Amino acid sequence: MLTMNYTYRIYPTARQQTLMLEWLETCRHLYNKCLRDLKDWIASRKCSLFSCSLVREYIISPDIPFPSYLEQKRQLTQWKKVNPFYKDVHSQVTQDVVKRLHNTWESFKNRGFGFPRYKKYGRYQSFLFPQFANNPIKGNTIKLPKIGEVIINCHRPIPEGFKVKGVRIVSRARGTIWYAVVSIQCDVNVPDPLPFGRGIGIDIGLESFLVTSDNFRVEPSLFFRKLQGRLKVLQRRVSRKNKRSKNWEKAQLKVARLHHKIANSRKNFHFQTSHILCDQADMIFVEDINFKMSAKGFVGKQMLDGGFGQFRDLLSWVCWKRGKYFSQVDHKYTSQICPECGTHTGKKQLKERVHICPECNYQTTRDHASGRVILNRGLESVVPMDCRERKLSGNGVLSGVSCLDKCRSRNTNLRGLEARTLSYG
Measured in degrees and rounded to the nearest 5, phi and psi for residue 301 equal -65, -45
* CA dist 350 → 141, 335, 354 (Å): 53, 10, 10
Is residue 96 part of the contact set for Zn ion (CB under 5 A)?
no
Rounded to the nearest 10 degrees, what angle do helices 14-44 and 91-111 cross at?
40
Total chain residues near Zn ion (CB under 5 A):
8
Stretch that binds Zn ion, among 42-50, 205-213, 358-366, 390-398 (CB under 5 A): 358-366
Shortest Å, Cβ 253 to Zn ion: 56
- Max CA pair span of the chain: 81
Closest CB to Zn ion among residues 262, 341 = 341
Whose CA is closest to 177, among 258, 268, 269?
Answer: 258
Burial group, residue 53, by CB count within 10 angstroms (0-12, 13-18, 19+): exposed
Closest CB to Zn ion among residues 32, 345 = 345
Name which position in 42, 354, 360, 401 contacts Zn ion (CB under 5 A): 360
Shortest Å, Cβ 414 to Zn ion: 12
> Which distant-in-sequence residues (6+ apart) come within 8 Å of 82 by Cβ?
none
**Binding residues for Zn ion restricted to 324-353, rule: CB under 5 A:** 338, 340-341, 343
Shortest Å, Cβ 201 to Zn ion: 17
Shortest Å, Cβ 357 to Zn ion: 3
Closest CB to Zn ion among residues 213, 252 = 213
Closest CB to Zn ion among residues 255, 341 = 341
Shortest Å, Cβ 340 to Zn ion: 4
Name which position in 27, 283, 357, 383 contacts Zn ion (CB under 5 A): 357
Shortest Å, Cβ 345 to Zn ion: 8
- CA 105 to CA 69: how far, in whole Å? 10
Name which position in 25, 149, 330, 359 contacts Zn ion (CB under 5 A): 359
Burial group, residue 294, by CB count within 10 angstroms (0-12, 13-18, 19+): middle
Answer yes or no: are the C-beta atoms of 333 and 407 closer than 8 Å: yes
Is residue 362 part of the contact set for Zn ion (CB under 5 A)?
yes
Closest CB to Zn ion among residues 94, 364 = 364
Shortest Å, Cβ 379 to Zn ion: 18
- CA 60 to CA 401: how far, in whole Å? 68
Stretch that binds Zn ion, among 189-197, 198-206, 239-247, 355-363 (CB under 5 A): 355-363
- CA 327 to CA 201: how far, in whole Å? 10
Q: Which residues lie near Zn ion (CB under 5 A)? A: 338, 340-341, 343, 357, 359-360, 362
